[in-house]
Amino acid sequence: SFVFAAVWPCAFSVTRYSITEEMERGSVVANLAADLGLDLNSLQDREVKLDIFTNKRYLDFNKKTGELYIVENIDREYLCPAKPTSCFLKLDVVIENPLRIFNIELGITDINDNAPHFRRDKVELDVSESAAPGERFSLPNAVDPDVGINTIKTYKLSASKHFTIEIQTGSDRTQYVDLVLTKSLDREETAAHHLILTAVDGGVPVRSGTAIIVVRVQDTNDNPPRFDNQIYTINMTENTPIGTAVTRLNATDLDEGLNAEIVYSFTLYTSEKTQDVFALNSNTGDITVKGMIDYEDMKMYEMHIEARDKGTHPLLGSCKVVVYVTDVNDNYPEITIQSVKNTVPENIPVGSVVALVETSDRDIGENGKVSISIHHAMPFILKKSSDKPEQYELIVSEALDREKVPEFEIRLIVTDSGTPPLSDNETITVRLLDVNDNAPKFPKSTYTIRVMENNAPGSLLESLSAFDPDLHENQYLVYVIIEKEIANTSVSMLFSINPEDGKLYALKTFDYEIEKEFLFHIEARDSGSPPLSSNVSVHIIIVDQNDNAPVIVSPWRAHGSVVEEKIPRSTDKGSLVAKVIALDTDSVHNSRITYQFLQVTDATLFSLDQYNGEIRTMRMFSYRDPRHQRLVVVAKDNGEPALSATVTIKLSTEETAVKAYSDMTEVPLEYDIFSDLNLYLVIGLGSVSFLLLITILVTIVLKCQKAKPSKAAPPSRNSVISERNSTIADSTLVSNDAYWYSLFLAETRKGKLVVRQPVPKGSRYIVSSIPRGTGLTDTSDSAASTLQ
């Protein structure tokens, strides 16, 4: 119905109309000209305007018909978003000339043109599976822009055995929906619940809107980890390499998140020894070998393992892993030395026990059967002990000698019966203690030592070193000279020996011309108990030095060094003028004398035999030859350097007829027997005759006690005979008698005389001269007799 109100100038009145949202475009709302009393003809020339107080032009006025019609669909929810009970569209109709304004209100009636809808078409809720039944969870409300009966009337929930809804109405009549838990949740059974919440309005036809409700069940740690098996049995061989995988454990947990994350660990029931051999990965459950698996140490390993989740209140599960170890021949047999004598005396009795050893092998069966042998250990043997089958005695099997083998390295070898066999060895060192069973030994049985005469007192002669193979005090040697007398003199007065090092010294100066050799013994004695000793012969030979110059004993030089002789000028060629005899108390080599002219008046007149010293005429004297001849003869020995002596002979020739020297043997000896020279000789001979007789007797006695000497050669012209060795030499010979004498040949013009005269101390010669001629004369016989 239309309510008409005429609006006059300056008069305010409102004309109200009612329309519905469902009216379409072009629909006539009202006939304003009829309702407002307007003349249609007058409206043609007048301007009519609509003033609508919205941002849209919903209505328009037709001047021809005077009708108000709809030009745009009217949306009540748009015009009145606050959902008031009444919703009006206000506009002013302005007609000019004259001006007239009409206020018009259109009351818009709601229709159910909007379905309820939720601001979110999907709602997600997290609900712990530990939530108790009756627990409520707020759900978002649906909205419906319609009002009145067309708005939301109720909510509906899809079928669920765990949830329902409850609708609460607020003071503003707004409905609120709660999701109520009716049955306990189990995440492991249903991890998420998908529900549909439907909002239904009261319009006709009924409209509705839905929202999906996803209830995610939040896990609680209500499930413990569980292993696939409660007991795992594994077989492994010993000595499995480190790092080898044993097994992988698998525990599962029906929970999720941290409640399902599992950590593996050994429990307290797992021994530390087992944990030293096996490693457990806490994250993966892998068991690997980390130590040496030894059958002989452990034949079976038990690992108690738990799987624990990471929940706030963690739950756990457990299992047992049993590892059985299989034996292999991995253990070397062993030798245990239970007792040993590392030092034994070298005279230890045969059969004595030196060591006690025991064998063992940690393996079993054939791998543990052990045999023992001895390697390069003569003279020791092994004997099985009667007390224990694995025990052996090391026994001395033969006599020991430290000087041959001072130490034994006894190598014992043990071998098992495994495949392949294993073996080991042990070395026992046995050192022999010395026993004084060896006497000192000299490298020589006799030491022959040559000592040059005129040695300095205290000079070292020789180092005598004995050897004793023993040790320590049994080896410490003391050297002593075995006391004896040599020529009425104690040997300790002549020689000395250092008792520690065996150095032999001379205590005096030796003279070859007095002492030629010494023979004694030296003893070396060790310091053992009892001490042992041995001795060695020492033969000291004095070596001659050329320390004595030749002494000219003929011709006699009683008055100075010049000898004067007279010879007839009628002397034949080859006649003996003079004979120079020199004596040297040195040894044979150094005493060999040669003669030479040092000066001669006429070299064509005289000759000198260099070996026997005879001066002979080389021709007869002539009237041109000087009456006086001067001859200087030098006698030189064979030493190095050579020593010499000289004699000067002055020869005077006279016309008196004198018999040749060849006839001198027929001249009676009495002619010059009492000349001055002969007188001196006879007096000297008488004074020593008694001593000479005693000496000859002692010499004969000593000769008889020794081996018979070889027969002496018959005396010959100008020969010298040795009493000691019967050696015939020309003119001069060395003799070794204890007392020495010399026979000097005194030459005169009338003949020769053999005499005896004691020689100064140090002389060791006996000289004899036999007269010339083929037969022995009374004089020569007398000389030979005197010599003997």
Q: What is the DSSP string of 175-232?
A: EEEEEEE-S---TTT-SEEEEEEEEEE-SSS--EEEEEEEEEEEP-S----EES-SEE
Are 653 and 569 contacting, i.e. CB atoms less than 8 angstroms apart? yes
The per-residue pLDDT for range 653-671, each reduced to its tens digit, is 887 644 443 343 333 333 3
CA gap 367, 415 in Å, rounded: 10
CA gap 415, 421 in Å, rounded: 7
CATH of segment(s) 14-109 = 2.60.40.60
> Can you give the residue ranges of every domain in the chain?
14-109, 117-218, 226-326, 334-433, 446-543, 551-658, 676-787
The per-residue pLDDT for range 176-219, each reduced to its tens digit, is 899 999 999 998 899 999 999 999 999 888 999 999 999 999 98
CA gap 440, 465 in Å, rounded: 10
Sign of CA dihedral 282, 283, 289, 290: negative
Any idea which fold 551-658 has? Immunoglobulin-like (2.60.40)
CA gap 685, 779 in Å, rounded: 16
Rg (CA), the chain: 81
CATH of segment(s) 334-433 = 2.60.40.60
In degrees, rounded to 5, the angle at the alpha carbon of residue 401 between the alpha carbons of residues 395 and 402 is: 105
Q: Which helix (H) or strand (E) is 33 found in, with range?
A: helix 32-36
CA distances (Å), 674 to each of 472, 668, 678, 680, 753, in order?
80, 13, 6, 9, 12
CATH of segment(s) 226-326 = 2.60.40.60
CA gap 766, 764 in Å, rounded: 7
Structure tokens at 654: 């006279």
Structure tokens at 395: 């026994």
CA distances (Å), 119 to each of 21, 83, 126, 140, 732, in order?
24, 17, 19, 8, 168
Write out residues in the chain with pLDDT < 50, as ranges. 1-12, 657-677, 706-788
- Average model confidence (pLDDT) across the chain: 80
Structure tokens at 216: 């995610």
Other C-beta atoms lying within 10 Å of the C-beta of residue 35:
19
Any idea which fold 117-218 has? Immunoglobulin-like (2.60.40)
CA 782 to chain centre: 96
CA distances (Å), 317 to each of 227, 251, 278, 311, 323, in order?
7, 8, 20, 14, 20
CA gap 559, 563 in Å, rounded: 8
The predicted pLDDT at position 317 comes to 94
CA gap 740, 546 in Å, rounded: 19
* 226-326 and 334-433, same CATH topology: yes
The predicted pLDDT at position 420 comes to 87
Burial class (CB in 10 A: 0-12, 13-18, 19+), 688: middle
8-state DSSP, 140? P
Amino acid symbol at 435: V
Amino acid symbol at 195: L
Any idea which fold 446-543 has? Immunoglobulin-like (2.60.40)
